[in-house]
Amino acid sequence: MRILSLILATASAMLLYPEQVHISWTENEGEMRVTWVTFYPISSVVSYRPILCNSPALWTYLDGSFTEFDQGDTLEIIQYINTAVIKDLDPSCFYEYSVGNYVFWSEIFLFNGRTADYSEPFDTTEVNLIVLGDWGTGDLGKYTLNLLGEEAKLRDFDAVLHIGDIAYDLNDQEGEIGNIWLNMVEHIAGNYAYMTNPGNHESPNNFTHYSNRFKMPINEANQGTSWFYSFDYGPAHFVMIDTEVYFFNSAEVIENQLNWLKADLEKANKNRGIRPWLIVLGHRALYCSINNLVPVSQINPACGSQATLLKNKLEDLMYTNGVDVFFQAHLHNYERDAPVYKNLTVPSEFDGENIHIGAKAPIYITNGNAGNVEAHNPVSPTPQEWSRFLSNDYGYGRLSIFNNTHLYYEQFSSELLECIDYVWLIKTQNSYNS
Ligand SMILES: *[C@@H]1O[C@H](CO)[C@@H](O)[C@H](O)[C@H]1NC(C)=O
Ligand SMILES: *[C@@H]1O[C@H](CO)[C@@H](O)[C@H](O)[C@H]1NC(C)=O
Ligand SMILES: *[C@@H]1O[C@H](CO)[C@@H](O)[C@H](O)[C@H]1NC(C)=O
């Protein structure tokens, strides 16, 4: 009898215990959305308070709301995805928070009150963001988990940008892999805005796992799918796009994003006096080195036919709008390219090994090697002329935009535990193309 009640208590605690806590910026300034999962439909709250600033450190209790999500593929397994949006954040504060139902509480997480920033007075001071892609569970996911987990303790970055391919896969093993991965990264994604866009691994059932588990800024065109959106932060405008529509969706869906993207880039371009940096991130690559010693028909499609398709659709938009950096993933390696347009290196006012002053085309950085069960993709033994650095070490990058003129990016090897590459971009005008 005692054993039975113990089992029941443990089982219900497991159902009630909040898990998979993660946070993201919204379409409004001064807001943080908190998302978490329970396996029992119970109303729960976020309790939070400002710290390390002039506001009184009093706890506020904010009601969450949940939606039912069937994580199973062949089985019906319902999880309850809870969210709540904390508003009116003071950028000079940090915030502690915990989610729970007054019986079971999560651990206490901490985030910075500085959020995506859409209105005056604009805060265009230095920003630091982690950029990574293609991150899964298991032993190979641990390299980046360990290094980034340590870096997260130092609080030397503001947010994480995950460019698609999440968990390998969110829906695998009846959705269990998604749960395991979200719990695995909770100490990062619960403490920093964790901004995502979809990759090909999110495609099953029209990206349902992705759209339900990740809540990104909402706009009229994305209708809350989290597939594509943009935000302003520091001296930059960031655009998260969905390259997967070109491979999995209808012409109508493609057109919908494209119209939005054109308008978004044009608007950002007009705003360059305030935010001169324009950064675009999408899962699949437009540029990655192919081995030009093998016949074109045998070339890895990701850098061959698929890259060509995406270039035809997107490259001119990037170039004419003066995009500075295009981050991509999908390839399980790291490659940094020089400014390039139509397959030709475009000389800057000055180019060095690790520096471009007055660049005149986007630089493309492939960063799809956070680590996952599919392991590495070898780098090309014969890189293209525009390729500047290649590595297949598991790792991630850190983007620092210091001010209106200086951008610095460095790539870490999570295997060697060191920085393996860096690049400076220095502007001589707000945009090379406006
Ligand atoms: C997939 O989702 C998108 C976005 O919600 C929607 O526009 C599209 O019609 C869906 N496609 C299918 C085949 O259901
Ligand atoms: C790009 O140029 C290189 C060198 O001229 C060539 O080998 C390669 O096939 C070209 N790639 C494409 C996609 O045109
Ligand atoms: C911009 O940042 C760089 C790197 O920190 C610094 O050297 C430079 O002086 C800064 N420029 C301005 C105008 O503050």
Over the stretch 278-289, which tens digit does the pLDDT of each residue have? Answer: 999 999 999 999
pLDDT of residue 298: 75
Contact 283/372 with Cβ under 8 angstroms? no
- In sequence order, which ranges of 1-141 are alpha helices (DSSP H)? 2-16
Pocket test for ligand 3, best of 277, 406, 408 (most atoms within 8 A of CB): 406
Report, in this order, helix, strand and coil percent for the chain, each rounded to 5: 25, 35, 45
Residue 1 has pLDDT above 50, yes or no: no
Segment holding 396, helix H or strand E:
strand 395-401
- Alpha carbon distance 152, 157 (integer Å): 7
The ligand minimizing its distance to the Cα of 295 is: 2
Name the amino acid, one letter, at 253.
Answer: V
- Residue 159 CA, ligand 3 centroid: distance in Å: 22
**N-terminal to C-terminal alpha carbon distance within the chain:** 76
What secondary structure letter does DSSP report for 311? I
Residue bearing tokens 């504060």: 93
pLDDT of residue 251: 98
Q: Judge if the beta carbon of residue 205 lies within 6 A of ligand 1.
A: no
Pocket test for ligand 3, best of 405, 407, 408, 426 (most atoms within 8 A of CB): 405
Instruction: Read off the pLDDT of residues 318-352 as tens digits, 9 standing for 90 and up.
Output: 999 999 999 999 999 999 999 999 999 999 999 99
pLDDT of residue 2: 55
Q: Judge if the beta carbon of residue 206 lies within 6 A of ligand 1.
A: yes
Q: How far is CA 88 from CA 49, 124, 145, 245, 394, in A?
A: 12, 19, 32, 35, 38
Instruction: Read off the pLDDT of residues 355-413 as tens digits, 9 standing for 90 and up.
Output: 999 999 999 999 999 999 999 998 888 899 999 999 999 999 999 999 999 999 999 99
The ligand minimizing its distance to the Cα of 125 is: 3
Sign of CA pseudo-dihedral 68, 71, 76, 79: negative
Q: Judge if the beta carbon of residue 253 lies within 6 A of ligand 1.
A: yes
The answer to whether the pTM exceeds 0.85 is: yes
Q: How far is CA 334 from the centre of its chain?
A: 16
Phi, psi of 135 (to 5 degrees): -115, 125
Assess whether the previous peptide bond of 88 is cis (omega < 30° from 0). Answer: no
CA Rg value for the chain? 22
Residue nearest to atom 11 of ligand 2 (CA): 343
- Identify which of 125, 106, 105 has the alpha carbon closest to the alpha carbon of residue 114: 125
- Alpha carbon distance 293, 365 (integer Å): 23
The ligand minimizing its distance to the Cα of 288 is: 2
Phi, psi of 226 (to 5 degrees): 70, 15
The structure tokens listed for 40 are: 């029992």
Predicted confidence band of residue 249 (pLDDT cuts 50, 70, 90): very high
Determine what percent of the chain is predicted with pLDDT higher than 90: 91
pLDDT of residue 15: 84
